[in-house]
Amino acid sequence: MNHTVEDSKLMQSMFLFVYAILALLAVYVSANASNKVTVTKNVDKSKKVACNDGKNKCNLIQSFFTEFRSTVVNAKDHLIAGATARGVSIFLLYPLDTIKTRLQMSPSVRATMAPISSLSLFKGVFGSLAGQIPYGMLTFGSYEVYKSKLLTAFPNARPEAMFMLSAILGDLTGSFWLCPSEVIKQQMQGGMHDNLFSAFASTWKNSGIKGFYRGYAGQIMRDVPFRAIQLPSYEIVKSTYSKQFATNADGTTRTLKPVENMLVGAIAGSFSAAITTPLDVVKTRLMTDKTIATISFSNAFKAATNLAKTEGISGLFSGLGPRVVYVGPSCGLFFVVYEATKVHLAGKKQSIMTNK
C-alpha cells in the first residue's frame, strides 16, 4: 500500500512544529546576543555550540540538546524517582484506564468488542509504559529548557505565563513520542489486537506511519487545555491549602511536605481531568474508530461536533469517573517530583551554566 502522500502531510506538520521551536529559540539567541555576554570558562566546551560561520551565533539545535542533556543529567535522581513513580501508578491503575477507554469508544465499535475479562484489563500496559516513561523525561527536560529560554528572552513577562507556555511546549515536544504508544494502547484496550506485535504490524500494514499518529490532533486538543488548566489549578489549590494548613505562628507559610504536594497535585489533576473529559472522549474516538480520518484538526473538530449532536452530555462525559480516579493520583506523583526538582535545579543552576 502506498502511503507517500499522507505520510508527507504528516511529516510537513512535524517540520512546521520544529520550525516554530527554532523560531522561539532564535528569539532567545537574539536577546542573549544583545547582552554581549562573554564566556570565559570552559572554552573548549563552548566551542561545541559555536556556529561554524564565526559570527558568534549559537547553533540552535545543538544548543537546545546540549541544555536538554545537562538538565536531564543534573536531575537524573529525580527523573529516576519520577519514572519509577509514574510506572508504578500506571501499572496499578491501568485497569481503570482500560474501563475508561471502553466506555468512551463509539457505540458501534463497542458492539463488536468481546466481554471484558481480568486479563483484558491489562492489555497494552507494556506499550503504555514504553510510551509514558520516556514521555515524562522528554516533557520534563524540554520544559526546563523552554522555561530557561523564555525567561531569558522575556525578562519582564509574568513568570507564571512563561511556566505555562513552557509546559505546553514541553507536552508538544513529547507528543511525537507518546502518540504511537497511545494509539496501540487504546486499540488493544478495545480488543482490536491480540498483542503488541500484531498491533504494530497491522497498523503499519494498513496505514503506514500515519496509522501511528491516528488521533494526534485529538491528543493535542486534549493535552494543551489540560496543562493550561492543571498548572494554575495547582497553584491556586496549593496557595489555599498553605494558608489554611501550612501557616507558621508568625504568619509565614512553611514548605509543604511531599505527601501534601501529592494531595494538592491530585486535587488539581482530578479537576483538570474532569474538565477535559469531553476532549479525552474525542481523542479516544479518533484513535479507535478507523472510519474517521484523523490527521487534520478539522476532522477532530467534526468528530467532536458529531459526538455532541448524537450523544449529548452523557456521551461527552463518558468515562468521567475512571478518568478522574486514574489521572488524579498520577498528577499527585508528578507534582511531588516537580516540587523536588525545582529545589534540586535551583541548587544546580550555576553548575549547569558553567558546563555549557
pLDDT number for residue 92: 86
Residue 59 has pLDDT above 90, yes or no: no
Residue 114 has pLDDT above 60, yes or no: yes
- 30-43 average pLDDT score: 39
Biggest CA–CA distance in the chain, Å, is 72
| Most confident listed range (15-19, 138-142, 175-179, 352-356) | 175-179
- 70-83 average pLDDT score: 74
Q: What is the CA radius of gyration of the chain?
A: 22
Closest CA to 281 of 128, 149, 151, 110: 110
239-270 tens-digit pLDDT? 999 989 988 888 888 888 888 988 998 999 99
Residue 101 has pLDDT above 80, yes or no: yes
pLDDT number for residue 348: 58
Query: Quick one: 10-354 is in which CATH superfamily?
Result: Mitochondrial carrier domain (1.50.40.10)
pLDDT number for residue 42: 43
pLDDT number for residue 17: 46
Rounded distance, CA 254 to CA 245, Å?
9
Domain ranges of the chain: 10-354
pTM for this predicted structure: 0.74
Judge contact between 200 and 127, C-beta under 8 A. Answer: no
pLDDT number for residue 130: 92
- Indicate the average pLDDT of the chain: 78
Judge contact between 187 and 159, C-beta under 8 A. Answer: no
| Most confident listed range (14-23, 43-52, 253-262) | 253-262
| 20 vs 135 pLDDT, higher one | 135
Residue 295 has pLDDT above 80, yes or no: no
Within a 10 A sphere around the Cβ of 237, how many other Cβ atoms? 19
Confidence tier at 347 by pLDDT (50, 70, 90): low
Confidence tier at 200 by pLDDT (50, 70, 90): very high
Rounded distance, CA 155 to CA 135, Å?
29
b/e burial code for range 148-164 (CB count within 10 A of at least 16 → b) = bbbeebbeeeeeeebbb
Confidence tier at 294 by pLDDT (50, 70, 90): low
Judge contact between 320 and 271, C-beta under 8 A. Answer: no
Closest CA to 132 of 198, 189, 88: 88
208-249 tens-digit pLDDT? 998 999 999 999 999 999 988 988 898 899 999 998 998 888
Rounded distance, CA 70 to CA 90, Å?
28
145-198 tens-digit pLDDT? 888 888 888 989 888 888 889 888 989 999 999 999 999 999 999 989 989 999
What does the block give as the cell for 89?
501508578
* 356 contacts: CB under 8 Å, gap ≥ 6: 39, 42, 45, 46, 49, 66, 67, 70
